[in-house]
Every structure is written in C-alpha cells, then in structure tokens.
Amino acid sequence: MSVFLDAANLPGVGEDIDSDVGGSGGCAKQHGELISVAFWGICDIKYDPRAPPGRRVQVLELGDGRSSRFSHHGRFIKEKFDSQYCMARAPIKRAVMTENKKFTHDMFVQEGFAELRPPTCAYARRYEATLARRILEDLDVAKGAVVLKLCNRSRGAGVVVVPAEELDAVLRQLLSPPVDLDAWLAKRRENALQEGKLLEEQCIHWWSNECPLFVVEKCCASIPVPKEGDDGLFDGTLRVAFALHRPKSVSKYQDEVQVKPFEIDWLGGYWKLPKFPLPEANGSVGLQAIHDRVVSSFNSVDKRTAPVDPKDLQEVYQALTPALPRIFSSGAISVQMIMNVYRQDDLFCAFALARVAAAMRVDHLERALGLFDLARRKVKEPPKREGLRDFLPELSVLSYIDRNVGVCSALLQKWEDAARLWRSALQLFPVNATAHYLHGRYCQEVGKYDDGVECMMRAIALDPDFKLPYQGLGNCQLLRRDFEGAMAACLACLRRHPDAPFAQFIAGQCLYHVLRDPGGRCFSPAENQRLSAKAARALDLAKRRHPDQWSEGDQVMLDYVKGSPAERSQLPAQDLHIWKLHGFRPCQTLRRRLLDVAHWAFVVMSFGGAVLLRAPESLGFTALVAAASLAFRLSMRNQCIITSVARTSSLPRISGKAVTRFFLALLLVSVARLALQLAFGRGFPWDQLIRAIRH
C-alpha cells in the first residue's frame, strides 16, 4: 500500500513539475509573423576563454530541440521558440547525424571544423590487451583523463570519464559481458527498478548497446562556474540553442524561386552543472567522484543550471555561426555517402545502412527492406555464436538488423513474423534491451500480459534509462489489474523521467481504480485526500501533454478524483484502458493501403461505368479524370494519403487538406457524371452543356 502513498517521486502534492522538453513552436496559421524554421536544435559545448583562440569552444554533442530539455535557466529558450518560431511544413531530417556521435564528429571534420571538436577516435567494441595503450597514443594523453562514450546514446548514458592509469581496467569491464548471461540477468532483474551504482549501470549500457563502435574523447574542461546557493565552482557544460531557416527570394519575373543557404538565429544559452563542484585540491578520486564533477547530464527532478555571461555567449555564437549551417546543410547521411566514407569498415557501414533504413521504413518500406538485406550481407557471420565477448560488435549489428526488420513486419501488422525476428535478434544478442521491449509489445498485443511483464523487466534491467519499457511494464501490469506493480513501474520511470506523460496517465488511472474500489486496502480520510490530489495532478499533466490521446473516459476519471463524494456517486465507472505508445506507427501504412484500394476502386468505377453504359461521349472525360488521378498519385509517391490523415506530416507545395479536397472533388465529379449517364444515357445533351459552360 505504501507504493500508492509514495509522494517523493510522483508529482501531485509537491513541487509543480512540468515538461521542460522543447516543442515544435507556435502555430503559423494563428500567428502569421512567426519565422518558419527547417531545424531547431541544441549544441552542448565545453567553453574556456582561457584557452588559446580556436580551442575555446569544444562541441560535445548536437541535438534536436524538439526532444531536448531546457531546465530552469534554460526555460526561456523554449518559451522564445514557441513565441517567435514554428517548424516548417517540410523540416530537414538530421536525426541520423545528431543521434550518433561518430557521424557528428565526421561531419565536423568533413566540413573543415575539426578544431571545434575535442580530439576524438573511434574503436570497435571488443576488448584487447593493447586497446588502452592505443587509445592513449592516438589521443596523445600521457596523464589526465579520457571520456568513453557510446555512439548512439544521450543524456549521459554510457559516458565514463577515466584517468589514463585506470583505462585498461575500465575497458575490460565495459567490454566483457558476463559469461553466464541468464544467471546474471535473473539476478539483475530482481532489482531492475532500483538505481544502481555508476559503473554497474554504465557496464549494462555498454553490454547492451547495438552500435559496433565507441568513441573516446580527450577530456576537456570549461571555465569554472559559480552556482547560486553554493560556495564551490563547477565544471559545467554550456548549452546553446539555435534555429536554422532558409529564406526564399522570388525573381523579378515572379516565376523562379531561389533557395538561399541556411541562416542561423541564436535563441540563447545557459550552463548545465554537474552534481558536485570542483575539488579544492588535487587528489586521488574514484570514477564516481570524477563523473559527478564532470558530467552535466541529469534525468532527475534536481536540475542544476546557471546563467551564462552574455559576452561569453557572443564568443560562442561567433565560433559556431560559420559551422552549424554548413554541417546541417550537408548532414543528410545518405546511402551513397555511407558506402563512400565507410567502405573500409564493413561493420560500421552495415550499422549505418541499417540506421538509414530504419529512418525511411515508414514512407519507403520496400527500399528499407532492401537496405537491411544489403547491411546483413556486409557482416561476416561469427564462427561461434556462443562467444559473445569475442564477437560483441558483429552480434550486436546482426541483432540490430533483425529487430529492425521485425519492426517492418509490425508496421504491416504481421505480428507473428515480427515476434519471430525479435526472438532471432535475442538469440544472436541476448542483451539487446530494445528487442526485449519489442517482444514485450508483441506479448501485450496478443494478450500475454505475464510474458509481457517479463520482457519489459528484462529490457529495464538491460537499459535502465530506456523510457518505453517502464511505460510498457506499467501497461501490462495495469491490464492484468496489478495496480501495485503498475504504480511501481511508474515511480521507477518518474525517478529518471519526471515529466513522462504516459507514466503519469498510468499512475493516475491506478489511483482512480484504487480510490473507486480499494479492494481490502484501508485508507484514512487524509490518505484518501492525498491520493486524490496525486491522481488529479498526474491526470492533469497527462492531459496537457497529450491532448490527442485524451478521451471522454479519461475526463470522467479526472472529474472523479477531483469531485466530492456526492459528485463521484453520479459518475459512471470506467474500464481499464491504455494509451497507445509510439514505438512505431503501423496506422500510417494501413491507412495508405486502404486509401490505395479506394483510389483504384475509383479508377475501375470510372472506366467500368463508361464501358457498361456505352457512352463514348463521356469515355474521354472519364479517362482524363482517372489518368489525372493516377498521375497525381504517382507524382506524390503515394504519400499524399498520409498528409490527409496525420496532423504532423506534410509534403512540399501541397497540404493534407488540399489532398483531401482533390480526391473529394474527383469523387463528386465521377458520381455526378455516372448519375447523369444513368439517367440520360446517350441522350444527354453534352454539346449543349459544354457550350453553356464555355459561354
């Protein structure tokens, strides 16, 4: 029962915790003065004005502003973007570049801005006795520290700051999964919802990662920064936000649109601070202490930020203004680019091809499947699959490919095929947290909630920062009416992701059902009031963050937890239900196929009606309409359907509403023509009608 009364981690009666995640800006239709941007993002840097010119700004990471966090001193950035900017109807897609540190570093080097990056090298995720020595030689680090990073992780997951003398021992731990994985995973599962020690959790991130490479950076520092209410100085990370827009100019003849290069607007910046200040004197410290004084990423409610000097911001802007527009302009990671740049590294080339295929599968499923097949052929099959330590990079890439092909099957609603591929991914690489999560989604879909709980717990045990398994676990527990288990999953999620709206909704629904039917639980009036307040706060937050998911039944639950006993008695009971998680979007492919069928039915109806009624006068008109419809569909690459039903999608030069009106007009014309044909046959006065229209 204490899990319901735990107020420390569930917002509702304490501090007002709202989302600090960036959004998509304002609505251009309502505010015509908003600037339409192709991309808005963040840049995390180490900044030290004491360093020589050219080395003062060191870019650590790029990110998408729509999914980045802007806490405390950075909240004004989110507000500024929402009030002055909006996303373009066809924004550029740079997730493949920004979500992989190897791609990011290579783009800086390719565009001639290597001085903006710390010295960096990439290595295969395979332990060798000489690996530490090679790293220190490549980065020219005799003393000091290096930073080990996983290529495709963010928010501090997998980041380990290591002194040079401890590098070999740490690499041995990070790159050596347990021999008896089943026994280790069973033991780990028992405490999966609890936070572990730093190196223990980082080892888990490294073992379960799907990218075959990791990167190592020379550790660099920022100028010491004070924090309000603290006497110490902190080695912070400076986060700056920017918006890229590409103005168009029309020629004097108004018939040619000239596209200009990207222009950059700076939205502001602030310091993100680590957990502890710099030590007063040098001394021997452990990995945990170094991490707490260097790494500024945080997932908890405790947001540590500080304002930045405007003069320092201007120097940062000056250094980055020439670089970012060029990097994002050429940052589309294409198949041709991958095959050219990474042709010497088959393993990373295969991973990169699979990542690009995953990005295109919703709109171009057949092309994506072809790329997955090409990627698989580039990986040499390990001779002994039981040797996970010896073939960690190869097995992780093969597993990555299989689980992504499984998602393609799920997009087509082929759940059994998807489950088979996800099981194959787990046989290859049993520590693949994402594959465990996806198999749990399959179990939830087919009603095997007990198996779903087990899969979600394994996913959490293998990737404790992965938000979706917590929400999937909460859903499975809720559907099997284990409210304590569902609430425990939500609390564990909210400890790491305080503003997760899906977890808030699950927690609010758990409290609603417990309040409506205690089921043997005894709550005092004060506890009942406390639970009601917590439920109302959680459901309110979920409603604000996801109004598209909110239903009439959800509103009844909210009214119930807010109402008096008399008001509650008038409200109908609500059944258990869950919100749909967006791990993938099968609905778009289904809608496209259904409307493809509708289109061809229209074409057949037009031609068939004309032939059956033997009306040569209207056959040309019918053929013209059908041909125009078909040409339009082909020119839009069959994607116009999605824009007519999905609010967030768009296509160049045409909107979803225009597509809907176009098809509606075709349908009305066809029906009207066939009705006239049926009524008048060959006797309909076509010539008189045409002359009347012309005059």
Separation between Cα atoms, residue 136 and residue 118, nearest integer Å? 14
Whether the per-residue pLDDT at 618 is higher than 60: the answer is no
545-to-65, 170, 540, 649 alpha-carbon distances in Å: 17, 41, 9, 19
Strand order in the sheet with 160-163: 120-124, 213-218, 145-150, 160-163
Separation between Cα atoms, residue 377 and residue 370, nearest integer Å? 11
pTM for this model (two decimals): 0.78
Mean per-residue pLDDT over the chain, rounded: 79
| pLDDT given for residue 620 in this prediction | 56
| pLDDT given for residue 402 in this prediction | 94
| pLDDT given for residue 646 in this prediction | 35
Separation between Cα atoms, residue 586 and residue 365, nearest integer Å? 12
Whether the per-residue pLDDT at 108 is higher than 60: the answer is yes
The model's confidence at residue 376, banded by pLDDT at 50, 70 and 90, is very high
Can you state the angle between helices 131-138 and 167-174, rounded to 10 degrees?
120
Which range among 293-302, 479-488, 614-623, 625-634 has the greatest average pLDDT?
479-488
HEC per residue, 619-655:
HHHHHHHHHHHHHHHHHCCCCHHHHCCCCCCCECCEC
Whether the per-residue pLDDT at 214 is higher than 80: the answer is yes
Name which of 379-388, 529-538, 627-636 the model is least confident about. 627-636
| pLDDT given for residue 682 in this prediction | 52
Whether the per-residue pLDDT at 258 is higher than 70: the answer is no
Query: Under a CB-based contact definition with an 8 Å cutoff, are residues 46 and 274 in contact?
Result: no
State the amino acid at position 599 in one-letter form. H
Fold of 335-569: 1.25.40
| pLDDT given for residue 282 in this prediction | 60
HEC per residue, 241-302:
EEEEECCEEECCCCCCEEECCCEEEEEEEEEECCCCCCCCCCCCCCHHHHHHHHCCCCCCCC
| pLDDT given for residue 585 in this prediction | 47
Separation between Cα atoms, residue 651 and residue 649, nearest integer Å? 7
Whether the per-residue pLDDT at 676 is higher than 60: the answer is yes
Whether the per-residue pLDDT at 323 is higher than 90: the answer is yes
Query: Under a CB-based contact definition with an 8 Å cutoff, are residues 97 and 111 in contact?
Result: no
Separation between Cα atoms, residue 152 and residue 103, nearest integer Å? 10
Q: What is 511-547 written as a DSSP string?
A: HHHHHH--TT----HHHHHHHHHHHHHHHHHHHHH-T
Query: Under a CB-based contact definition with an 8 Å cutoff, are residues 13 and 529 in contact?
Result: no
pLDDT above 90 as % of the chain: 33
Beta bridge partners of 609: none
More confident residue, 594 or 514: 514
Separation between Cα atoms, residue 218 and residue 53, nearest integer Å? 18
| pLDDT given for residue 406 in this prediction | 93
632-to-96, 595, 597, 609 alpha-carbon distances in Å: 31, 14, 15, 22
Average pLDDT over residues 618-642: 52
**Angle, alpha carbons 234-235-237 (nearest 5°):** 115
HEC per residue, 301-334:
CCCCEECCCHHHHHHHHHHHCCHHHHHHHCCCCC
Whether the per-residue pLDDT at 660 is higher than 70: the answer is no
649-659 residue pLDDT tens = 333 434 444 55
Residues of the chain with CATH 1.25.40.10: 335-569
Which range among 127-141, 489-503, 507-521, 617-631 has the greatest average pLDDT?
127-141
Whether the per-residue pLDDT at 15 is higher than 70: the answer is no
Average pLDDT over residues 118-142: 92
Whether the per-residue pLDDT at 125 is higher than 70: the answer is yes
Whether the per-residue pLDDT at 257 is higher than 50: the answer is no
Q: Of 391, 398, 361, nearest to 376 (Cα)? A: 398
| pLDDT given for residue 312 in this prediction | 93
| pLDDT given for residue 243 in this prediction | 93
More confident residue, 276 or 15: 276
* Count of CB atoms situated within 10 Å of the CB of 634: 9
Separation between Cα atoms, residue 365 and residue 584, nearest integer Å? 13
Whether the per-residue pLDDT at 349 is higher than 90: the answer is yes
196-to-7, 167, 188, 269, 566 alpha-carbon distances in Å: 21, 22, 10, 32, 46
Give just the sign of the alpha carbon dihedral 232, 233, 235, 238: positive
Average pLDDT over residues 2-18: 49
| pLDDT given for residue 645 in this prediction | 35
Average pLDDT over residues 85-114: 89
Whether the per-residue pLDDT at 156 is higher than 70: the answer is yes
Query: Under a CB-based contact definition with an 8 Å cutoff, are residues 287 and 166 in contact?
Result: yes
Separation between Cα atoms, residue 496 and residue 464, nearest integer Å? 9
Q: Where on the phi/psi map is residue 642: left (φ > 0), alpha (ψ -120 to 50), or beta?
A: alpha
Average pLDDT over residues 675-695: 60
| pLDDT given for residue 2 in this prediction | 61
| pLDDT given for residue 614 in this prediction | 47
Contacts of residue 406, defined as CB under 8 A and 6 or more positions apart, other chains included, come to 417, 418, 419, 420, 421, 422, 425, 435, 438
The model's confidence at residue 299, banded by pLDDT at 50, 70 and 90, is low
